[in-house]
Amino acid sequence: MALPTLKQGAKGGAVQRLQKALTKAGQNVALDGDFGPGTDRAVRAFQAAHGLGVDGVVGPGTWAALGVGGAHAAGNGGGDGGKCTLSIKGAAFIAHFEGLKLNLYNDPVGHATIGVGHLVHKGPINGSEPAEFRKGISRERAFELLQQDARTAADEIAGSVKVKLNQQQIDALISFTFNVGTGAFRDSTLLRLLNGGDYGSVPAQLNRWTKASGQTLPGLVTRRKAEGALFRNGTYVS
């Protein structure tokens, strides 16, 4: 079960779990189960120290950075029926290539959008958007939305890949599948070779997917090389 999103004013066992994790991470906070000003300061200090959005809201990104199990960001491998999930580092990796906007905007075809291409609704911004989006969102919230949007790609990898993957390999394949589509991944030579245990062929296979409308796109060349480095070496670009 996913951990709850917490902010100042929350109380109870989940808050105490948060406080214990913050204490383990070196923050000075009372273990009283009350998300008061002291816990808020500790959360913000932790977020700043770990490159997260500093908003005092404990969502999947902050839980994951704290190393607490149960957050959406905790990927645990695939290939054996296990669940694949995009990590926060993986979300930042995709955002590097897809772009990140923390305020509402109309996408190229005129749909209300926010974050890393998250569709709010079809049609242009019209004032009907949720208040959360009208006020703008944090970087962490944008990555949380991206993790949700990447769920289909992650589920495809979990179902199609028959060999063990570490989190960096999962993130690389989710980035690729999120970009090219689940059907393309499912029918790819890359998947066939990987399922045969040929991990070493994956970067070269990724490099084959650099064209759109028959034209090689420099942005896709760069992205595929970065995905290959992430799969092979665990090197994130963000």
- Is 5 part of a structural domain of the chain? no
State the pairing for strand pair 215-216/118-121: unpaired
> How many domains does the chain divide into?
2
- Is 206 part of a structural domain of the chain? yes
- Is 8 part of a structural domain of the chain? no
Which positions are annotated as active-site residues?
98
> What's the CATH code of the domain at 216?
1.10.530.40
Same domain, 106 and 60: no
SS3 assignment, position 215: strand
Same domain, 100 and 191: yes
- Is 166 part of a structural domain of the chain? yes
pLDDT of residue 69: 57
Same domain, 51 and 119: no
Same domain, 139 and 32: no
Quote the pTM value.
Answer: 0.67
| pLDDT tens, per residue, the chain with 238 residues | 457 889 999 999 899 999 999 998 889 899 999 999 999 999 998 888 776 778 888 987 788 788 775 444 333 445 444 568 899 899 999 999 999 999 999 999 999 999 999 999 999 999 999 999 999 999 989 999 999 899 999 999 999 999 999 999 999 999 999 999 999 999 999 999 999 999 999 999 999 999 988 999 999 999 999 999 999 999 998 6
SS3 assignment, position 212: strand
Same domain, 56 and 18: yes
Q: Which ranges constitute the DSSP H helices of the chain?
A: 13-24, 37-49, 60-66, 88-98, 131-134, 139-149, 151-160, 167-180, 182-186, 189-195, 202-206, 218-233
Encoded tokens for 118: 């998250």
- Is 4 part of a structural domain of the chain? no
- Please provide the distance, in angstroms rounded to a whole number, between the alpha carbons at the two ends of the chain: 28
Same domain, 116 and 226: yes
Range of the domain at 59: 13-66
Same domain, 211 and 152: yes
Backbone φ and ψ for 114, nearest 5 degrees, come out as -155, 160
pLDDT of residue 51: 66
Same domain, 21 and 105: no
Same domain, 29 and 136: no
pLDDT of residue 74: 37
pLDDT of residue 2: 56
Same domain, 20 and 130: no
Which residues face 115 on adjacent strands?
A: 101
Any idea of the CA torsion for 3, 140, 231, 180, to the nearest 10 degrees? Answer: 100
Asked whether the CA dihedral 226, 232, 235, 238 is positive or negative, the reply is: positive
> What's the CATH code of the domain at 25?
1.10.101.10
Same domain, 139 and 210: yes
SS3 assignment, position 126: coil
How many CA atoms, within 13 angstroms, populate the side-chain half-sphere of residue 231? 26
Same domain, 61 and 102: no
